């Protein structure tokens, strides 16, 4: 048969004309791959942030749109991607599954359960980037979120909807403090989400075990992106956690979310930006790392209707330097910080809260009235004590008032020490602070203070249960109740026999 050249061309043209042009555009080809990132040619209409499917089963998200190619970060590092592999657009952004069934579960950012408790039924899939509620949609923070830690609830109180940064060197009890806050939400209709970013798997496993042992896992979700996971999943983890938190909030619950820690998150994002060849800025972080964290943390808060997301981001610093780039960013984004001090930690003052450097910019307004009444002068007393302590180190003779202040300060510091995973109710805290405020502890040797205070609390819980419950319900202490407390404390002091 005699086929002309022009015929072949027209045959091709006809064939192409029948195929919708759009479909051709949806497919691209991998040009280059390495370091969990690949360049793909041919995805002309692709969007920033769009999810891309690879022929070989991998998935990725677009992070750069160049003229001739797009740069895609991969979601799996165990599925190989080859050059010339075909990829397809999905037309949607990265989504995560949400459902009430998530409570009690440990998942990764790809909705895969890590706890061998079977598949999870999701109610819907939501974009992990959501618009942030404006000023008009928000409500003032007026309810307290008890963290179960005496030094936090009395000195740096946190309100529901607040964002409070936990900042400190390595190994200063940052995670322990956040876990205590989660433990304290038991039986309180507050759901907790713990987002682990770039930590060792063993740490996460230990944490889950603790939550289970303490009976709070049923009210919690753990989202984990371990140090060994692709850098993209570490970047996504806090956004997935936040999306789940927003879902719970939309269902009418208060939520507590812990991001452990955003230093690793920033490092993951820096790695991605450098691989994308974006210009490095201060400490080699990209210029938009502030926006990264602000758009995450602005999603916390209390909305009209009264339901809230309280965020406890954690940031690790080096050699006490709170002026590094990421810590200063986070300090300015959040509503206060809890500074954990290595020096105090090593002295055995745990939780090692440095009262001078810790603040809560809104919590005071939301502090439970009963605790507020007990803590009026505590901060000042501690400040005076710390000042005197420096002075006393010179071995100078101190006058009587200073000596008394030192003795009181010493007792306050002793009382604020708290073992790991021991969480107090606010009434327990009130009772202990009462003992300090009304000088019941002044006559005791420092070593006995803890025992005395904890025994007093159990004494009230058991013998004066009604009194205890009334305060628990009203959250306030009336003048009469205050007098009653005096009576009970005197009675207890007489009965108390210290352990030998
Ligand atoms: N209140 C406490 N009382 C006694 N020990 C504590 C207390 N809080 C924390 N610890 C201990 O201190 C160690 C460090 O705690 P944790 O892991 O919470 O610190 P971190 O700051 O989160 O550390 P990293 O920087 O490694 O994340 C742990 O061994 C923990 O058991
Ligand atoms: Mg930690």
We report the CATH number of the domain holding residue 48 as: 2.40.30.20
| 293: nearest Cα among 323, 274, 268, 317 | 268
| Domain annotation covers residue 488 | yes
Cα separation, 257 vs 190, in Å, equals: 10
Question: Is 170 known to be catalytic?
Answer: no
Q: How many CB atoms lie within 10 A of CB 209?
A: 11
List pLDDT tens digits, range 147-203.
999 999 999 999 999 999 999 999 999 999 999 999 999 989 899 999 999 999 999
Question: Is there a single domain that holds both residue 291 and residue 307?
Answer: yes
Same domain? For 72 and 209 the reply is: no
Q: CA-to-CA distance for 194 and 89, rounded, in angstroms?
A: 32
Q: Give me ligand 1 centre to Cα 204, in Å.
A: 14
Q: For atom 15 of ligand 1, which residue has the closest CA?
A: 173
Q: How many residues make up the chain in this entry?
A: 500
> What residue owns the CA closest to ligand 1's atom 12?
173
Ligand 1 atom at minimal distance to the Cα of residue 199: 27
Do 193 and 220 meet the contact criterion of CB atoms below 8 Å apart? yes
Tell me the ligand closest to 179's alpha carbon: 1
Q: What is the pLDDT of residue 164?
A: 98
Classify residue 17: in a domain, yes or no: no
pLDDT tens digits, 252-296: 999 999 999 999 999 999 999 999 999 999 999 999 999 999 999
Instruction: Reduce the DSSP state of residue 219 to 3 states and report it.
Output: helix
Verify that 102 and 52 share a domain, yes or no.
no
Percent of the chain with pLDDT over 70: 96
Establish if 6 belongs to a structural domain: no
108 in the same domain as 251:
yes
- For the domain that residue 416 is a member of, what is the CATH number? 1.20.150.20
Q: Are 386 and 363 a contacting pair, CB within 8 Å?
A: no
State the average pLDDT for the chain. 93
Q: Are 500 and 448 in contact (CB under 8 A)?
A: no
Ligand 1 environment, Cβ below 6 A: 168, 170-176, 316, 350-351, 418-420
pLDDT band at residue 13 under the 50/70/90 scheme: confident
Q: Which residue's alpha carbon is nearest to atom 26 within ligand 1?
A: 171
The pocket of ion ligand 2, defined by CB under 5 A, consists of 175
Chain centroid offset of residue 127 CA: 20
- What's residue 500's pLDDT? 62
Q: Which one-letter DSSP state was computed for residue 399?
A: -
Encoded tokens for 158: 């946190």
Tens digits of residue pLDDT in 39-72: 999 998 999 999 999 999 999 999 999 999 999 9
Which helix H or strand E contains 223, and what residues bound it?
strand 220-225
Sequence-ordered list of residues with C-beta below 8 angstroms from that of 31, at least 6 positions apart, any chain: 38, 39, 40, 41, 69, 83
Catalytic residue among 138, 278, 361, 379: 361
Nearest protein CA to atom 31 of ligand 1, as residue: 420
Identify the residue with better confidence: 264 or 4: 264
Token pair 């983890």 in the structure block, residue? 237
Q: pTM for this structure?
A: 0.93
- What is the spatial distance between Cα 73 and Cα 58, in angstroms, rounded to a whole number? 10
In 10 A of CB 135, how many CB atoms?
Answer: 5
The pLDDT of residue 25 is above 60: no
Range of the domain at 69: 24-92
**Hey, which residues does 166 pair with through a beta bridge?**
314, 338
User: 34 near 47, Cβ under 8 Å?
Assistant: no
In total, how many domains does the chain have?
A: 3
What is the number of the ligand 1 atom nearest to the C-alpha of 172?
21
CA dihedral 418, 421, 426, 429 (to 10 degrees): -20
Q: Are residues 389 and 288 in the same domain?
A: no
Q: Is residue 16 part of a domain?
A: no
């Amino acid at each position: 048969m005699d086929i002309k050249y022009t015929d072949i061309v027209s045959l091709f043209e006809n064939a192409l004309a029948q195929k919708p042009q759009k479909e051709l555009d949806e497919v691209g080809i991998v040009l280059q791959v390495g370091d969990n990132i690949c360049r793909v040619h041919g995805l002309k209409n692709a969007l920033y942030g769009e999810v891309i499917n690879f022929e070989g089963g991998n998935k990725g998200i677009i992070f750069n749109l160049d003229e001739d190619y797009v740069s895609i970060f991969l979601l799996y590092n165990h599925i190989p991607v080859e050059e010339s592999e075909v990829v397809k657009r999905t037309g949607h952004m990265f989504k995560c599954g949400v459902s009430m069934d998530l409570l009690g579960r440990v998942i990764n950012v790809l909705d895969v359960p890590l706890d061998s408790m079977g598949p999870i039924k999701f109610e819907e899939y939501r974009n992990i980037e959501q618009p942030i509620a404006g000023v008009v949609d928000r409500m003032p923070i007026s309810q307290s979120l008890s963290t179960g830690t005496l030094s936090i609830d009395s000195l740096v109180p946190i309100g529901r909807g607040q964002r409070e940064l936990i900042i400190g060197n390595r190994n200063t009890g940052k995670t322990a403090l956040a876990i205590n806050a989660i433990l304290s939400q038991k039986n309180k209709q507050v759901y907790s989400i713990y987002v682990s970013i770039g930590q060792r798997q063993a740490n996460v496993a230990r944490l889950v075990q603790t939550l289970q042992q303490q009976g709070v896992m049923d009210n919690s979700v753990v989202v984990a992106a371990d140090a060994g996971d692709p850098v993209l999943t570490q970047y996504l983890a806090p956004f997935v956690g936040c999306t789940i938190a927003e879902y719970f909030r939309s269902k009418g619950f208060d939520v507590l979310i812990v991001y452990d820690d955003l230093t690793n998150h920033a490092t993951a994002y820096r790695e991605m930006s450098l691989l994308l060849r974006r210009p490095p800025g201060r400490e080699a972080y990209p210029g938009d790392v502030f926006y990264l964290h602000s758009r995450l943390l602005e999603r916390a808060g209390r909305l009209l209707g009264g339901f809230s997301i309280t965020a406890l981001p954690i940031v690790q610093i080096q050699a006490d330097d709170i002026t590094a780039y990421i810590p200063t960013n986070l300090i300015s984004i959040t509503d206060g910080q809890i500074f954990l001090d290595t020096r105090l930690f090593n002295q055995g003052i745990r939780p090692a809260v440095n009262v001078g450097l810790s603040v809560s910019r809104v919590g005071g307004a939301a502090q439970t009235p009963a605790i507020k009444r007990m803590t009026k002068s505590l901060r000042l007393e501690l400040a005076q004590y710390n000042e005197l302590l420096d002075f006393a180190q010179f071995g100078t003779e101190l006058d009587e008032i200073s000596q008394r202040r030192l003795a009181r300060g010493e007792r306050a510091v002793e009382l604020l020490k708290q073992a790991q995973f021991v969480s107090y109710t606010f009434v327990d805290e009130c009772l202990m602070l009462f003992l300090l405020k009304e000088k019941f502890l002044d006559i005791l040797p420092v070593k006995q203070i803890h025992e005395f205070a904890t025994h007093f609390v159990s004494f009230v819980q058991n013998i004066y249960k009604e009194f205890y419950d009334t305060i628990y319900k009203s959250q306030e202490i009336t003048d009469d109740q205050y007098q009653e407390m005096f009576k009970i404390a005197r009675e207890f002091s007489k009965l108390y026999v210290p352990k030998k």
